[in-house]
Structure 1
Amino acid sequence: MLSRSFFDPARLRRAAAGRLGPLRHLPALVRLVYAASPRLLVASLALRLVRACLPVLILYLAKLILDAIVVEHGRPRPLGWDAWISDPHRARLAGLVAMELGLAVLSDLLGRLSTLVDGLVADLYGNAASLRLMRHAAALDLEQFEDSAQQDRIERARRQVTGRSSLITQMFGQVQDLITLATFAAGLLAYAPWLILLLAGALVPAFLNETYFNRQGYRLAWTRTPERRQIDYLRYLGASVEAAKEVKLFGLERYIAARYRVIADKLVADNRSLAIRRAAWGGGFAALGTLAYYTAYATIVWRTVAGEFSIGDLAFLAGSFQRLRGLIEGLLLGVSQIASQAQYLDDLFSFFAVVPTIRSPPAPAPFPRPIAEGIVFEDVGFRYPGTQTWAVRGLSFRLSAGEVLALVGENGAGKTTIVKLLTRLYDPTEGRILLDGRDLRAYDLDAVRGAVGVIFQDFVRFDFTASQNVAVGRIEARDDAGRIAAAAGRSLADGVIGRLPLGYDQPLGKRFEGGVDLSGGEWQKIALSRAYMREAEILVLDEPTAALDARAEFEVFRRFRDLSRDRTAVIISHRFSTVRMADRILVLEGGRVLETGTHAQLQAQGGRYAELFELQAAGYR
C-alpha cells in the first residue's frame, strides 16, 4: 500500500522538476539555431506543419475508398472503361484513389525535403555552436583551463557542441507528431473517447520508466567524464606521431593497452548493467501498452460486427488507433529522450555560463605608447589555485622602460610565474603590479596582452604553413609578407624556411598531408620570430632556446639584444653566457628576489649567482 508521502504535492513537484528541469535549456538552443539560420529554421517548421496533416487525410481517404468498394460489390460490374468512367459512383472511387496517390507522393517529397533542410540546419548550428565555444573558451582565464574539474567541464561541452544538433530535429518532430496526434484524436473522440484514455494510461508507466533510465544514463556519463578523458589520452598515446618514438623505444605498447583495457572494461560493465535493467523494465511496460491496444482493437471489431461501424469505419478506427498508439508512445518517450538529451545541454550551457575573473575594467585607462616609466612589482604574492604554497611572496622589483632584465633561479623559483602575472594570465593574490604608475588591472586586458610579446619554452607547434606560424605573433598582419620575412630574418628562421620545398607556403608538422616536420632547434627559431612579428612594447623570452646549441643560442640572444634597443625586455635562461648580456640580472629563490645587479656585480658579491655560475662553468672545463 502506498504511503501518503507518495502523493505529497511538494515531492511530486520536485520529481517533475528533476525529470523536466533540463528542458529549461531548450529555448536557448532554439535561439542558437535561429541565429545560425533563421530562414531554414522557419522552412523546417512549415514543412513539418504540412506533413503533420497528411496522415489523417490519407487514412480518411482510405476509409472512403473501402466504403465505396463495399457499395460497388452490390452493384452490377461495368462492361468497359466507358461504363466505368461514365458512372458517377465509380468515377468518384477513381478520384479518391488518385487523391490518395497524390497525397502519398506529396508526403514522400515533403519528407525528403524536410530531411534535407534539417541536415542543413544541423550543419549550420554545429558550426555556429563550435565558433561560440571557441570564442568563449578564448575569453576564460588560464586558471579555468588548468583546473582538472574545469577541464572535465570543457570536455563535456566540447562533446555536446555538435553531438546534440539532432535534438532540434527531434523537437520539431515532436511538434509534428503532436499536431498529427490531435487530428487522429479528433476523429476517434467522435467514436470512442474512452479508448484514448485507456491507451494513454497504459503508456504513461513506459514514459516514466524511460525518463528514469535516461536520468541514470546521464548521471553515469557525467561521473565517468574523467575516465573518458583518460581513455582519449591513452588512445592518443597509442596512435599519435608525437608519442610514437618513445612508445616504441620504451616498449609502452602493452602497458598503454592494458591501462586502456582496464578503464574501458569498467565503462562497458557499467553501461551493460544499466542497459540490462533498462531493457527488462522497458519490455514489461511495452507489453502493457500492447495489451491496451488489442483491448481497444477487439472492442472496435466487436462493434463493427454488431453493425455500429462500417468496414471503412473499422479500417479508419483501427488505423487511427494504431497510429495514435504509436504517436502517444512516441511523444511520451520523445519527451523523455529530449529531457535526457537536454541534460547534456546543461554541460554546454553551464560552460557558456562560466565567466572569466580576469577582465578589463568598465572604463579602462589609456594604455601608454610608448611605455615611459616601466613596470614595478610591489610586494606581490601569488599562489596557484588549489595550492597552499606561494609561488612568489613579497616580490618587489622594478623593470625600467628600455631595460633588458634577466631572471635567474632554479626550477620553481618563480620565473615563469612572474611572466604570467606580467601578461595578466593570472592576477596577484596580494600586492600589485604597476605600469607607468597605474595598476596593471586598470588597463584594457587586450591592450596589455597586445603590448607584450612572449615566447614560452613550451611554445605551440602549429600545423600551419611556415608563414602562418610566424604570423601567429600578430595574426591580423598575416598577409604582410614583408613583415613576416623581416621577423623570420631577425630570429634566424629565414634560413630554416629557405630550405623548405615550398618556402613560406610550406605546411609544417606531420598532422596533415604534405607537412614537413622540423627539428627542435628549427621550431624554436620559428617560435622566436613570433616575438619580432608582434613588435610589442615588452618582449619576454622564457627559455625559448633550450633546444639550440650554445653557439646558436648566443647568436640568437646577441641579435635579440641588438634588435630590442629602446624596448623593455625580459630574458629567462639557464645559460649564464646569455644572461650576462642583460642590463641587469634578478636572482630569484623561493619566490623572492635574492640578489640583483649586473653580471660583474653579482660575480664580485660571491653570492648565489656566483655559485650557480661557477657550477655551470665547471661543466665546460
Structure 2
Amino acid sequence: MSSILVASVRVRVELLVRLPWVGPGLLAALVGLTVLASVVPAATAATVGWLIDRLTDADPDHLLSAAAPALSAYTVVLLIGHAATAVRAPLSYLAEARIDGRHRAELSRLAAGSPTIDALERPEVQALIRTARADPESFMDGTPGAGVLAQLNLIGRSLALATSALVLAAYAWWTVPLLVVPAVVLHQLRWHEGRQRRRVWRNVPMPSMRADLWSDALVSPAEGKEIRVFGLGEWAIDRIDRHLRPAYDPLWPMDRRILAATWQQLVAVLVPLGIVYVVVAVDAARGGAPVAVATAALVAGTGVFEAFDDAPQATLNAITCVRAFTRVRAELAGGGAVPPPAPEPAGTRPEPPLIRFEGVGFRYPGTESVVLDGLDLQVRPGELLAIVGVNGAGKSTLIKLLAGLYEPTAGRITADGRDLADIGPAAWRARLSVVFQDFVRYHLSAADNVALGNALAVPDMAAVVGAARDAGFDAVVSRLPGGWDTPLARARDGGVDLSGGQWQQVVLARALYALRTGAQVLVLDEPTAHLDVRTERDVFDRLAAHRGAASVILISHRLSTVRRADRIVLVSGGRITEDGTHEELIAAGGTYASMFAIQAQRFQRGFDDRLEEGELT
C-alpha cells in the first residue's frame, strides 16, 4: 500500500507542475474558488448544527425569528457552494483547454521539428504519439488538462477533509481516525483498480490504430471509390472488429472482478460511518451531547468520505498521456523545433553548391537490406543532373538522404566541402527544394498550395504567378472558378478537384516558387509521371532555363526526357554504375542504352507511359 501511495503522490506532482500553464489570472480565480468550495462542507455542518440548536431552544411562538439568523447563514452557505461550482465549471474548461492546447502545440512542434523522419515511421513511435496527442477516443484516454484540474480538485477536497475533521474533533477526537483511515484506504483501492485497467490498456493503441485506418477509409472520398466498387464495406467493418476485440476483450473480465469486489468498498464506508452515526445518535438521545453538535458531527462525517470521492481515472489517463509525450521526445532525439535558418543579407544570392556523396551507405531502420552501398556521386553547381535506374534501385532514397530526412549509415554528404550534418537541417533545407514522388495535396487555395514551397519567406504573389507560369499551371488557374483563391479540394466550399497531371503542375510550381525565393538546389522525383509527352517537354524546357541559377536533380522513368540533361547517372546495386551524357551512355552500350531502346520501342507502338486521373472541367 505504501508503494501505491508513493506512486500516487509522484504522478500527481508530475501533473501539478503544469498548473501555471493556465495563466496567472485564471489560476488565481480557480485557486480562490477551490478554497471557497472546500470550506462549504464544514460550513454546512456548522450552520445546520446552529439551525438545529436555534430550533430546539426557541420559544414556539417566536420560532421563525429565532431560527432566522441560522437559516440565513445556512442559505448563504448553500448559495456560495452552488455559485462556486457554477462559476468554476467554465473556468475549469478554459484552463483545461489552455493546458491541452499547449501540450498539443509542443507535441506538434516536437514531431515537426524532428530533423529526420525515420523515428516517425516506426509503429511504436506512432502508438506513443497517438497516446500523447491528448485527443480522447475512449474512457481510457485522457488529457493533461483534465489531470491537472483533478489535482486541483484533490487539493480542495483535502482542505474540505481538514475542515470536516475539525468539526468532528469538536465532538470527539476518535471519530477523525475512525473515518479518515478507511476513507484513505478506499481511495487507494480505487487507485489500484485504475492502475490495473491501465496495465491491460497498454496493448490497445496499436490495434486501435489499425482499426482507425479502416474507420477513416470508410468515410473518406478517396478510398470510398474502391470500397463501393469492390464491395469492401462489410469486409472493412469486420477488420475493425477483428482489431478491436483482442484489445478490449481483456478489460471485461477484469471489470467483472472489480465489480464483484465493490462490496468491500461498501463495507469500508458503511461500517465506520455506521459506528459514528450510532454512537452520536445514542449519545444525543441520552443527553450526552447537544443535538446541534451531534447533527454537525453527522453531516461532517459524510463530508470526510466525499473528500476522497474523486475517481483516479482522470489522473491515470493524464499521466499516461504525459509520459507518452516524454517518451516521444526521447525517441525523436532531442526534440524541439528545428531553428529557422538565419536570413541571407539583402541583395545576395550564393552560387549553387558543389554536392558530393562520399561512400554513402544506407539501410532503413529495422531492416538488414542495404539500399545504398558505398555510393559516390557529384552534383556540379548549376547543372541539370538526371538520375535513372530500375524500380527499387535506391533513387528516391538518395533524394531523402540529400534532403536530410534520413542520415547515412555510412559515408557522408557534403555541400562545398561541409558535411550536411554540420550545416544543420534548417540552413540546408533553406537552400533546397524537393518535389517528392508521393507529394501532398493540401486542402488549401491554389495560391497557398504554391506558396508552401517556402513557408519561411514572406508570401510573394508575383513569385507565385511566375512559378505557376514556369510550371504550366497558369492555364489551369485561369479555369478555376475563384482563380487563385479557389480551394483545391471538393470538400471545401467552392473547391474543385484536380487531375493527377494538374496536381503535378501545382507541386512543380511549388518547387519553382522556392527557387524564386532563395533555393539553390531543385530536386524532382518523377515530377512528370502524370503529364503527357508534350507537356512534359515544355516543363523540362522551363526547368532547363534555371540551369546556372540553381542545380536541378531530376529522377524520371522517361528516358526520352532525361536525354536532354547535362549529365545522366544510372543507379544499380546501391551504387552509380554509369555516368555521362546521353550520347556517351548510348555509345557505351550498357544498361542505360538497353533501357532507352526498350522505351523507344514502346513509344513507337503508341505507349505514352502517362498516369492520369481525369481533367478539371
TM-score (norm 2): 0.90
1-side partners of 2:319 and 2:412: how far apart? 44
- Superposed displacement of residue 458, structure 1: 0.5
Whether 1:110 and 2:64 are equivalent positions in the alignment is no
Deviates further, 526-535 or 503-512: 503-512
Q: Structure 2 residue aligned with 1:147, among 122, 138, 148?
A: 122
- Superposed displacement of residue 398, structure 1: 1.0
1:280-429 equivalent positions in 2, closer than 5 A: 280-327=260-307, 329-330=308-309, 334=312, 338-339=315-316, 341-356=318-333, 370-371=350-351, 374-429=354-409
- Superposed displacement of residue 365, structure 1: 12
Q: Rate the CA distance shift 1:143–1:279 in 2: closer, same or farther, 3 A.
A: same
SS of 1:546 mapped into structure 2: coil
SS of 2:355 mapped into structure 1: strand
* Matched letter for residue 500 of structure 1: L
Q: Rate the CA distance shift 1:440–1:38 in 2: closer, same or farther, 3 A.
A: same
- Superposed displacement of residue 372, structure 1: 5.7
- Superposed displacement of residue 488, structure 1: 1.2
1-side partners of 2:150 and 2:373: how far apart? 56
Match of 1:8 in 2: none
Query: Is the 2:382–2:550 Cα contact (8 Å) retained in structure 1?
Result: yes
Match of 1:590 in 2: 573
SS of 2:386 mapped into structure 1: strand
1:28-43 equivalent positions in 2, closer than 5 A: 28-30=17-19, 34-43=20-29
Q: Rate the CA distance shift 1:324–1:267 in 2: closer, same or farther, 3 A.
A: same
Query: Is the 1:160–1:347 Cα contact (8 Å) retained in structure 2?
Result: no
- Superposed displacement of residue 270, structure 1: 2.1
Cα displacement string for residues 144-186 of structure 1 (whole angstroms, at most 9, x for unaligned residues): 1111111111121124597332122211111111111101101
Whether 1:22 and 2:22 are equivalent positions in the alignment is no
Cα displacement string for residues 376-409 of structure 1 (whole angstroms, at most 9, x for unaligned residues): 1111111111111211111112111011110000
Cα displacement string for residues 162-213 of structure 1 (whole angstroms, at most 9, x for unaligned residues): 7332122211111111111101101111222222222233344433332222
2-side partners of 1:585 and 1:349: how far apart? 46
Whether 1:256 and 2:263 are equivalent positions in the alignment is no
Deviates further, 290-299 or 338-347: 338-347
SS of 2:370 mapped into structure 1: coil
**Runs (5+) with no aligned partner, structure 2:** 137-141, 605-617
Cα displacement string for residues 309-330 of structure 1 (whole angstroms, at most 9, x for unaligned residues): 2221221111111111222x32
Query: Is the 2:113–2:338 Cα contact (8 Å) retained in structure 1?
Result: no
Q: Rate the CA distance shift 1:488–1:514 in 2: closer, same or farther, 3 A.
A: same
Q: CA RMSD in A?
A: 2.5
1:219-298 equivalent positions in 2, closer than 5 A: 219-298=199-278
1-side partners of 2:29 and 2:566: how far apart? 68
Deviates further, 607-616 or 194-203: 194-203
SS of 2:382 mapped into structure 1: coil
Query: Is the 1:36–1:128 Cα contact (8 Å) retained in structure 2?
Result: no
Q: Structure 2 residue aligned with 1:100, among 74, 95, 104?
A: 74
Q: Rate the CA distance shift 1:519–1:572 in 2: closer, same or farther, 3 A.
A: same
Q: Structure 2 residue aligned with 1:599, among 554, 561, 582?
A: 582
Match of 2:155 in 1: 175
Query: Is the 1:293–1:325 Cα contact (8 Å) retained in structure 2?
Result: no
Match of 1:50 in 2: 36
Cα displacement string for residues 493-515 of structure 1 (whole angstroms, at most 9, x for unaligned residues): 11112211111111121343433
Query: Is the 1:375–1:435 Cα contact (8 Å) retained in structure 2?
Result: yes
Q: Rate the CA distance shift 1:100–1:123 in 2: closer, same or farther, 3 A.
A: same
Q: Structure 1 residue aligned with 2:444, among 447, 464, 484?
A: 464
Query: Is the 2:42–2:160 Cα contact (8 Å) retained in structure 1?
Result: yes
* Matched letter for residue 104 of structure 2: S
- Superposed displacement of residue 59, structure 1: 2.3
SS of 2:309 mapped into structure 1: helix
1-side partners of 2:68 and 2:574: how far apart? 93
* Matched letter for residue 466 of structure 1: A
Match of 1:610 in 2: 593
Whether 1:473 and 2:456 are equivalent positions in the alignment is no
Query: Is the 2:5–2:188 Cα contact (8 Å) retained in structure 1?
Result: no
- Superposed displacement of residue 278, structure 1: 1.8
SS of 2:250 mapped into structure 1: helix
Whether 1:77 and 2:52 are equivalent positions in the alignment is no
Query: Is the 2:103–2:144 Cα contact (8 Å) retained in structure 1?
Result: no
SS of 1:458 mapped into structure 2: coil
- Superposed displacement of residue 47, structure 1: 1.5
Q: Rate the CA distance shift 1:130–1:434 in 2: closer, same or farther, 3 A.
A: same
SS of 2:497 mapped into structure 1: coil
Q: Rate the CA distance shift 1:226–1:203 in 2: closer, same or farther, 3 A.
A: same
Cα displacement string for residues 477-524 of structure 1 (whole angstroms, at most 9, x for unaligned residues): 464221211111111111112211111111121343433211111111
* Matched letter for residue 63 of structure 1: G
SS of 1:563 mapped into structure 2: coil
Deviates further, 585-594 or 124-133: 124-133
Query: Is the 2:183–2:304 Cα contact (8 Å) retained in structure 1?
Result: no
Query: Is the 1:491–1:532 Cα contact (8 Å) retained in structure 2?
Result: yes
2-side partners of 1:165 and 1:489: how far apart? 49
Query: Is the 1:365–1:444 Cα contact (8 Å) retained in structure 2?
Result: no
Q: Structure 2 residue aligned with 1:545, among 528, 550, 565?
A: 528
More helix by share: 1
Q: How many residues align?
A: 591
- Superposed displacement of residue 360, structure 1: 11
Q: Rate the CA distance shift 1:158–1:435 in 2: closer, same or farther, 3 A.
A: same
* Matched letter for residue 55 of structure 1: P
1-side partners of 2:289 and 2:589: how far apart? 111
Q: Rate the CA distance shift 1:105–1:211 in 2: closer, same or farther, 3 A.
A: closer
Q: Structure 1 residue aligned with 2:486, among 495, 506, 524?
A: 506
1-side partners of 2:336 and 2:322: how far apart? 27
- Superposed displacement of residue 355, structure 1: 4.1
2-side partners of 1:439 and 1:476: how far apart? 23
